[in-house]
Amino acid sequence: MTVFAAGAVCWRIVDGKILVLLIHRTRHKDVSLPKGKLDPGEVLPQTAVREIAEETGLKVNLGLPLGVTNYVMPNHREKVVHYWAAEVTEEAVLASTFVPNSEVAALEWMPVSRALTSISYKRDAEILKRFQAFVDDGLISTFAIIALRHAKAIPAFDFDGRDAARPLTQRGLHEARFIVPGLSAFGPTVLRSSTALRCQQTIAPTAEALGLPVKKTDSISQDAFENGTSDIRSVVGKRVRRRATAILCSHGPVLPEIMREVALATGTTKPASIARAGDLPVAGYTVIHLSRERPGSGIIAVETHVPH
C-alpha cells in the first residue's frame, strides 16, 4: 500500500536574502525538508501544515505547490510526498516552541545554494531547485483565490421553495466541516459567499474556525448568473487588486466563469483551459496562486482538491 505524506520548503527573508529551512533528523541522522505522513481523515495540505508545526514549532500557511516525490522505502512500500512553499513570518519564528527532540535534533536556516549541498536526498534537492526557479522568476511571494463549490444540497426536485433557499443535506453538512482544515492550510483572510443558503452553510464552518466574517453577494450567485445580473468580474477584480488570499464560495455553473475571470484579470493565456479547473464536484475547491508583487504576470499555479 502506498504511503502518502506532505511537507514544505519553509522560507523567510533575512537581511534581504531568502533562506530555507532544513531539519536534522535524530533517528535517521540525515538532513531533509520538513514533512510527514498523512493521518487517517486528513487531506494533504492539512498534513503539511500539521507536520511542519510538529517538527519545527512553526505555524505556516501554504503557498505555491512545488511538486511530488516518490520512492520505495526500506519496507518496500512506495512513499509519495507532496510539497508546497511556505513563507515563515517573523511572528511565527518568535512564537516557535521548538526544542531538540527524539525526532528532530536541530533546525538550520540557509541559502538555497548551500541547502542543495547539505540536503541528504537527491529527491529533496529537486524540490529545492523548483523553489529556486520561482525565486529566480520573482514569483515566490504569492496569494491565492480559492474557488469553492458548495457542498451537497437537497435536490431542487425534492425542495418546495426558492432555489436559493435550498439547504445542505446531512452529507453536505459533513462535507462543509471536512473541508475546513484543507482550506485553512492556505491562510485565507477574506471569505465571500453567494447569497444562496447552500453556499452560506458550506463556508460557515471555515468562517467559524478562522474567526472571520463572511460577506454575502448576489454577484456570484447562480440566480444572478442565470438571469444575467451577476457581476463576477468586479468581485474577481477586487480580489486581485487586494492581493489577499480569499475564498469565493459559489455554484457549479458559476465557478468556471470565476476561473476565467481570474485568468483575464491576470493576463493569463488560454483562459478557456483555466476555466475548466472550475468544473468541480460538490465541496471541491481550486486554489489559484498569483504573484503578490506582480499579479498581472498571470496565474502561477492551479491545484484542485476534492473530498474523499
Percent of the chain with pLDDT over 90: 94
Confidence of residue 62 (pLDDT cuts 50, 70, 90): very high
The Cα–Cα gap between 274 and 141 comes to: 21
The pLDDT assigned to 90 comes to 96
Confidence of residue 278 (pLDDT cuts 50, 70, 90): very high
The tally of domains found in the chain comes to 2
Same domain, 148 and 105: no
The pLDDT assigned to 174 comes to 98
The pLDDT assigned to 28 comes to 86
Confidence of residue 238 (pLDDT cuts 50, 70, 90): very high
Is the pLDDT score of 308 beyond 80?
Answer: no
The pLDDT assigned to 94 comes to 97
CA triple 51-49-1, angle to 5 deg: 55
Instruction: With CA atoms as reference, report the closest residue to 108 among 22, 40, 4.
Output: 22
Same domain, 176 and 122: no
CA dihedral 46, 87, 2, 54 (to 10 degrees): -60
What is the arithmetic mean of pLDDT over 292-304?
96
Read out DSSP for 90-129?
HHHHHH------SSEEEEEEE-HHHHHHH-S-HHHHHHHH
- What domain range is 100 assigned to? 3-136
Same domain, 253 and 292: yes
Same domain, 42 and 124: yes
The C-alpha cell at 89 is 513570518
Is the pLDDT score of 74 beyond 90?
Answer: no
What is the arithmetic mean of pLDDT over 136-161?
96
Same domain, 123 and 8: yes
Contact 66, 139 (CB under 8 A): no
Same domain, 118 and 155: no
Same domain, 266 and 147: yes
pLDDT in tens, 24-33: 998 889 999 9
The pLDDT assigned to 27 comes to 87
The chain-wide mean pLDDT, for the chain, equals 96
